[in-house]
Amino acid sequence: MTDIHATAPARVIFAQLSRFITVAMTRLGLPEADAAIVGRLMSEAELQGSDGHGVIRLLPYARRIRAGGLNLRPNIKVVQERPGMALLDGDNGMGHLVMQRAAELAIEKARHCGIAWVGSRFSNHAGPASLYARMPMAHDMIGLYFAVGNANHLPPWGGLDMLLSTNPIAVAVPAGEEPPVVLDMATTVAAYGKVKAKAQRGEMMPPGWMIDRLGQPLLDPKRAEEGFLMPIGGYKGYGLSLIVGLLAGTLNGAAMGSGVIDFNHDDTTTTNTGQAVMAIDLSAFGEVTGFKARVDQLVRELRGSERMPGVDRIWLPGEQSHERRAANERDGMALPPVLLQQLDAFARDMGIPTLQAT
- State the architecture of 77-188+231-284 in CATH terms: 2-Layer Sandwich (3.30)
Fold of the domain built from segment(s) 2-66+334-357: Hypothetical Oxidoreductase Yiak; Chain: A, domain 1 (1.10.1530)
Residue-level pLDDT at 6: 47
Please name the residue ranges forming H helices in the chain: 14-28, 32-47, 58-66, 95-113, 130-134, 192-201, 235-248, 288-303, 319-331, 337-350
Among 39-43, 316-320, 354-358, which stretch is predicted with the lowest mean pLDDT? 354-358
pTM: 0.93
Q: Using one digit for the tens of pLDDT, what is the confidence trace for 227-247? A: 999 999 999 999 999 999 999
| 290 vs 213: which has the higher pLDDT | 290
Confidence tier at 5 by pLDDT (50, 70, 90):
very low
Q: What is the distance between the alpha carbons of residues 199 and 347, in angstroms, rounded to a whole number?
A: 22
Q: 181: how many CB neighbours lie within 10 A of its CB?
A: 20
Res 64 pLDDT > 70: yes
Residue ranges of the chain assigned to CATH 1.10.1530.10: 2-66+334-357
Res 9 pLDDT > 90: no
Residue-level pLDDT at 52: 86
Confidence tier at 284 by pLDDT (50, 70, 90):
very high
